[in-house]
Structure 1
Amino acid sequence: MRHDIWRNAVTTGQQAAADALGEATLALLAQRDDTAQRFTAAIAADPGLVAAHGALGLLRLASGRRPRQAEALQSLATARAAFARRGGTRREAALLAALAAWAEQGDMWRAADVLEEALRAAPADPLLLRLAYAIRFMLGDAVGMRLATQHVLEVLPADAPSRSYLRGCLAFTLGETGEPWQAECEGRAAVAAQPDDLWAAHAVAHVMEREGRAREGISWLEANAPGTSAAAVFSRHLFWHRALFHLHVGEGDAALRLYDTEVWREPGSDFRDLANAASLLWRLESQGVPAGAARWDELADEAERRLGEHCLAFADLHHAVALGAAGRRGAAARLLRGMRQRAIEGGDTQAQVMGRVGLAVARGVVTALLGDPAEAAALLRAHRGEVPALGGSNAQRDLVERITLDATLAAGDAEGAFGQLLERAARRAGGTWEAQRAARIRGARRMAARRTDELRPSTPRRFPALIRGGFA
């Protein structure tokens, strides 16, 4: 038995393995690009390291790709064999149970609950917290993320190695639950204490995005994420955020360059890569920046290769965007049929999400992009309140709100679109996209007013009759 840097017991005879597990945990907390490699290095130091196998298996499931699920099951089998052979701690049993719940039953809620149950018994365990936090992020449970993080920070010693990283985790949840000022304070403090904390830098960028502080956001990310690599998943997401800042101030060419050079240099193995790319490409075109058929075809080809996976409703939503924008009616229909079948036949967490909201939203998106805005607007507006269940962040889910507003406007409902724009203005600062929509709404109103004037019957002229009647 050895101990990690938080004094948590690790079932291993190799202190190097326990130390490597601690380094992997720190990488996970910071959302660094080498997180998976760090857990792999811990396993190399001790091939029977249950905690590392459990964590790596959960990260593989979080990739949202069917091929990685097979790898996660292999992690589970290896961890089980090691646990049966050498025994283990409550923490290791929890990691094993959480991985089994998700990999075998598809029960993401149970996986997060198991980790947090163990965390309540040993709150100074950032590995359990950060894995549960990641799962709840995919479930859209920002409140659960915040409560768990606050609880750990309350009991974690002030000099604990990960404390500043956890402040970065808290910062993100504060922003997602409506406390942007406190979120920015926590995020800036976390970055100041630990400059490699990409998640904390990302949390501050979220606040700036919502408040329309685009120039500041670009400078912030350039200064605080200088070492990001275009080959890594989270790095590409940070470049996605930079592109959003450029779009906010109407710099479409700069955003398109980031798309080509950073966000989608090549197909990635994580669902977030295609999600970033499809979302950004739609935003570019919606602001009048021609993306070109070739870019959409590349994304649609990748989405077609993933048809039938249906690991996450959030991923399928972005497959729907790629296929709809590329005009792939047949493939889009197959995607929707597969989601429907998954919702009917599966009893797991994501099947339930698809049945409750995922399928309807994906149908709405496909319908909007393939030319029936009235039906799309009706579908999307009916499910607006349920979109958070798809997972992800407010910034990511904003894509659905934008498509909904555009469909409403394209359907000829200028007043409905105006109402949505007003609601939006109460939650986030407007930029170029919002100004364009406001102008379109004004144009639609003027056109409607002209049509009304043309249809209005002319008022009869009574003076001649009065003259004939002798009243002159």
Structure 2
Amino acid sequence: MKDVNAAGAAGRDRHGLETTGGGADTEAGEHYAHAVDSLLFFRGDVADAVEAMREAAPRAPLAHAFAAYLGLLGTEADQAAVARERFARFRESVDQSGFTARERAHLQAASVWLAGDIERAGTLLRELSVSWPRDALALAVGHQIDFFTGNAASLRDRIAGALSAWDEDDPHYGPLLGMFAFGLEESGHYARAEQVGLAAVARNARDVWGIHAVVHALEMQGRFAEGIGYLDARREHWGAGNMMAVHNWWHYALYALEAGDTGRALQIYDATLHHAGSEGLALELLDASALLWRLLLDGPTTAGAVGGRWEALADAWAARDDGPHYAFNDTHAVMAYLGAGRMREAEALVADRAEWAARPHPGVTNHTMTAQVGLPVCRALIAFAQERYGHTVDLLAPQRNRLQTFGGSHAQRDAVQRTLIEAALRAGRYELARTLLSERLNLRPSSPYNWLGQARLADELGQAALAATARDRAAALAAPGMSALNG
């Protein structure tokens, strides 16, 4: 029987929005405020705070919508399944007519996402933010959806469209700036992204998403030595004790690779990215795969330095036994299997996803991601591992300008872009390699990696003087980064 009146008294949250289940001065309201704050600052107690709110107000709709979002934000299939079941029980037990329009909108967005339509959920939350721009939960969750779907314009504009409704003295205005900075960076506005990101961190030194936005902006400009210095100066604020620590350490490792310090990158890998105590979370395994794959692409010397790390990482992916939940994760699982020489497991994953994708799944965003991008990328990775480099090029070249449609950031997707460059060089597709390297050099002329690629191409074309000049340029650019690492 429907329970119509068990949600609790109405009130307003700390941002002045009407809520069912109690206002900011109630126990449930206090838990909700704490949960939102923890979500914005990526603190690990967010789930506990949401659960405490559900216990204090078992029928509060925002508690259940929030819990559903948390079950989805980690891209963990098992967590999503649990969230789907719990949310369905809640929806069955209540009459929504007593909820506010905003709360019903959250319930609809959560329901749609739990059903697999992440893009529609993002649209619903964007519409919610038009009517209630001070809903921090809607903005934060919508921002992450934009990231998962690679929607750079919405990643930027969702937050930009709400900012003017906020008081700049609000403690949550800073995290919004951090989100806006990341959206600016993914949209190519690097100088503005850096400026806004720095302003966010100036407001709160532990704004790890704001730090992350600055790190991205510096990386995309090839300013890796400055990035090392920026992270070193703030390590106590981002390096541990938050849900972004592993990912920001991954960025530090990328800076180390750009500086030419493979050893430092692997030290970071062992200490933070993947080790015996790692929890095996998808988003962390993804970073581990992306780092090791870059080393594999860089040739036998760096690939050999990886040692047994691939095997342990492949074991961690295999232990998850994921189904078709998020194509971006699938590609990184395939990287791990291939790096460990476990071709059968890579091919089995692809066969499973191909069989799934061949059936209709209306309204499931991951179906489109898998069929249109995930499978071609996975097959290209397999072809690369089989040394069928021309086939790798044939599969990846049509995808290179649409990779954003299966999620991630420019920095994360660069592992796939580098695979295309390396395959083009090894396949003798020199005109394509020249074009790709020319693009990178003109966009990021301060990148040693790009100049080393130019040297490789010159070697293949018998242009020894040009190759030597490019290597000298790479070494000169790498030196400040190495100094920063050793400083």
Q: TM-score, normalised by structure 2?
A: 0.87
Alignment length (residue pairs): 448
What is the DSSP-based 3-state SS (H/G/I as helix, E as strand, rest coil) of the residue aligned with 2:58? Answer: coil
Amino acid at match of 2:112: A
Aligned match for 1:10, one of 15, 19, 30: 19
Confirm or deny: 8 A CA contact 2:441 2:451 kept in the other structure.
Answer: no
Alignment of 1:172-251 (within 5 A): 172-228=182-238, 233-251=243-261
Deviation, 1:235, is 1.0
- The answer to which of 44-53 and 143-152 deviates more is 44-53
Amino acid at match of 1:363: R
Separation (CA, whole Å) in 2 of partners of 1:111 and 1:78:
20
Q: Which residue of 1 aligns with 2:114?
A: 103
Q: Does 1:35 align with 2:49?
A: no
What is the DSSP-based 3-state SS (H/G/I as helix, E as strand, rest coil) of the residue aligned with 2:169? Answer: coil
- The answer to which of 169-178 and 18-27 deviates more is 18-27
Deviation, 1:363, is 0.8
- The answer to which of 174-183 and 37-46 deviates more is 37-46
Confirm or deny: 8 A CA contact 1:300 1:322 kept in the other structure.
Answer: yes
Q: Does 1:413 align with 2:424?
A: no
Amino acid at match of 2:50: F
Amino acid at match of 1:298: A
Confirm or deny: 8 A CA contact 2:280 2:317 kept in the other structure.
Answer: no
Structure 1 unaligned segments of length 5 or more: list them. 449-472
Work out the percentage of aligned pairs sharing the same amino acid: 32
Confirm or deny: 8 A CA contact 1:244 1:255 kept in the other structure.
Answer: yes
Alignment of 1:398-409 (within 5 A): 398-409=414-425
CA offset digits 1:56-92 (Å, max 9, x no partner): 2122212222211222113413542564389322222
Alignment of 1:331-410 (within 5 A): 331-345=345-359, 346-347=361-362, 348-410=364-426
Amino acid at match of 1:55: F
Aligned match for 1:20, one of 28, 31, 35: 31
- The answer to which of 391-400 and 286-295 deviates more is 286-295
Separation (CA, whole Å) in 1 of partners of 2:445 and 2:241:
32
Change (3 A) 1:385 1:267: same
Confirm or deny: 8 A CA contact 1:54 1:79 kept in the other structure.
Answer: no
Deviation, 1:298, is 1.2
Change (3 A) 1:23 1:363: same
Deviation, 1:205, is 0.3
Separation (CA, whole Å) in 1 of partners of 2:22 and 2:135:
20
Alignment of 1:5-154 (within 5 A): 5-13=14-22, 15-81=26-92, 83-84=94-95, 87-104=98-115, 106-154=116-164
Separation (CA, whole Å) in 2 of partners of 1:369 and 1:34:
41
Confirm or deny: 8 A CA contact 2:163 2:176 kept in the other structure.
Answer: yes
Structure 2 unaligned segments of length 5 or more: list them. 1-9, 465-487
Deviation, 1:222, is 2.8
CA offset digits 1:69-128 (Å, max 9, x no partner): 222113413542564389322222122111111212x11111112222222221211111
CA offset digits 1:111-157 (Å, max 9, x no partner): 11222222222121111111111111100001012111111102223
Deviation, 1:342, is 2.3
Q: RMSD of the alignment, in Å?
A: 2.2
Deviation, 1:439, is 2.2
CA offset digits 1:130-189 (Å, max 9, x no partner): 111111110000101211111110222333331121111111111111111111111111
Amino acid at match of 2:335: V
Q: Does 1:309 align with 2:320?
A: no
What is the DSSP-based 3-state SS (H/G/I as helix, E as strand, rest coil) of the residue aligned with 1:159? Answer: coil
Amino acid at match of 2:14: I
Separation (CA, whole Å) in 2 of partners of 1:331 and 1:209:
33
What is the DSSP-based 3-state SS (H/G/I as helix, E as strand, rest coil) of the residue aligned with 2:314? Answer: helix
Amino acid at match of 1:32: R
Q: Does 1:273 align with 2:284?
A: yes
